[in-house]
């Protein structure tokens, strides 16, 4: 029984890790032409939902530490995609806003989710059952976030 539990193919973590790694790879050719990495794309998704956010809020939304997000933002600022300004109410707080270039990328990258969905489409994962997969993954993420 223990031997079966310790087989690689019986590890949920391995399946999730492999799926995550391969899915991130699927984004690479779609983003690299725009000079973006997958984590930078995630930052853009957050800012396209709501512009002018504190660094802490972006990090929280991405479930990352601010010291992980800050270098991403610095590179994005050098590329002219975002600007960081001190908060008006609290000068210690950095507010991240899209530039015209950053807003323009939203139109240019509008097809990315559809291209990736097409890349992972299979008989098992369909538009009808994808919401259930999202619910299951969200439950796993929530449980692990509490640990």
Average pLDDT per 10 consecutive residues for the chain, totaling 147 residues = 88 94 95 97 98 97 96 97 91 93 98 89 80 94 89
Same domain for 10 and 45, yes or no, is: no
* pLDDT (0 to 100) of residue 63: 95
pLDDT of residue 73: 98
CB 31 within 8 A of CB 43: no
Closest residue by Cα to residue 90 from 66, 64, 54: 54
Give residue-wise pLDDT tens across range 19-30. 999 999 999 999
- The answer to whether the beta carbons of residues 85 and 94 sit under 8 Å apart is yes
Helix (H/G/I), strand (E/B), else coil: 50: coil
What pLDDT was estimated at residue 81?
98
Residue 18 buriedness (CB in 10 A; 0-12 / 13-18 / 19+): exposed
pTM given for the model: 0.90
**In terms of residue numbers, what domain contains 119?**
1-32+111-147
Per-residue burial over 92-117, b = 16 or more CB atoms within 10 Å of its CB, e = otherwise? eebbbebeeebeebeeebeebeeeee
Total number of domains in the chain: 2
Do both 5 and 40 map to the same domain? Answer: no
């Amino acid at each position: 029984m223990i031997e079966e539990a310790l087989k690689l193919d019986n590890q949920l973590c391995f399946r999730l890790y492999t799926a995550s790694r391969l899915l991130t790879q699927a984004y690479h050719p779609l983003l690299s032409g725009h000079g973006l990495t997958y984590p930078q794309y995630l930052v853009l998704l957050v800012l396209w939902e709501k512009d002018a956010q504190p660094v802490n809020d972006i990090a929280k939304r991405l479930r990352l530490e601010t010291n992980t997000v800050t270098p991403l933002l610095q590179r994005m600022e050098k590329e002219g995609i975002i600007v960081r300004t001190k908060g008006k109410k609290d000068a210690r707080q950095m507010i991240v806003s899209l530039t015209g270039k950053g807003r323009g990328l939203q139109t240019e990258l509008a097809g990315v989710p559809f291209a990736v969905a097409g890349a992972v489409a299979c008989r098992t994962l369909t538009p009808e059952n994808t919401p259930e997969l999202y619910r299951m993954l969200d439950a796993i993420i929530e449980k692990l976030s509490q640990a």
